[in-house]
Amino acid sequence: MKFIIGIGGVTNGGKTTLTNRLLKTLPNCCVVHQDDFFKKPDQIEVGEDGFRQWDGKNGFRVRKPCMITALDMEAMINTVKGWQENPIKFARSHGVSLSPEAEEAGSEEKGIHILIVEGFLIYNYKPLIDVYDKCFYISIPYEECKRRRSTRTYTVPDPAGLFDGHVWPMYLKHRKEMEDNCDRIEYLDGMTSKEEIYNKVYETINNSLLNSL
């Protein structure tokens, strides 16, 4: 059985922390990080707000869904499809240890195979929305998000005014779009402890897996 989990949320909300914990405890579990699909800085357009649109989207293109311009979403969805086609091969190529049952069977029809898709815009792209079996989204308030972001070091440093002038306004815009596009999301309070968030998500996933068997 194949099972795909979405872990979305605001920047610095705790998505990666939760994902890494789940990777250690869920069986035959692989991950696709949306951050791995950012384009190079010189490929990111500058918007009317004066900032490069790391969190931005353009409008509809002919015969194509609304694209997230800062990300190579085609490559991301192809990676997810690669897992769907052969989760065992995908796991081995990414150094993921498989359970003895999966190794011996050599078929995804035996046992459970899980993929986590993690990122801040994973519910704003229609081809991805359709693949999830379970959707989670972590939220934190403006003040806490700004505080956490200020303590992080990025490969491309935040220019002055980026958070208030671009990051937070785009988060609010994308969240509204997400809420309009996907009604299967379970929201998580990022202000609760990491342990509490993990326990809640792990229990929910286990219950879903049991009900799917």
Give the CATH number, domain containing residue 119.
3.40.50.300
**Per-residue model confidence as pLDDT tens digits over 68-92:** 677 889 999 999 999 999 999 999 9
Average pLDDT of the residues in 155-179: 88
Owner of token pair 């605001």 = 10
Whether residue 67 is contained in a domain is answered as no
6 beta partners? 117, 135
Confidence of residue 166 (pLDDT cuts 50, 70, 90): confident
Say if residue 114's pLDDT is above 60. yes
Note whether residue 56 is domain-resident.
no
Q: Is residue 69 part of a domain?
A: no
Asked if residue 115 belongs to a domain, the reply is yes
Evaluate whether residue 62 is within a structural domain: no
Q: Number of folded domains in the chain? A: 1
- Tell me the catalytic residues: 35
Please report the pLDDT score of residue 93 as a whole number: 95
Let me know if residue 151 belongs to a domain: yes
Res 51 pLDDT > 70: no
Q: Is residue 65 in a domain? A: no
Top pLDDT among 98 and 6 is at: 6
pLDDT reading at 120 higher than 50: yes
Assess if residue 89 is contained within a domain: yes
Alpha-carbon gap, residue 46 to 81, rounded angstroms: 31
Pick the closest to residue 173 from 91, 35, 68, 34 (CA basis). Answer: 68
Domain range for residue 132? 2-39+75-212
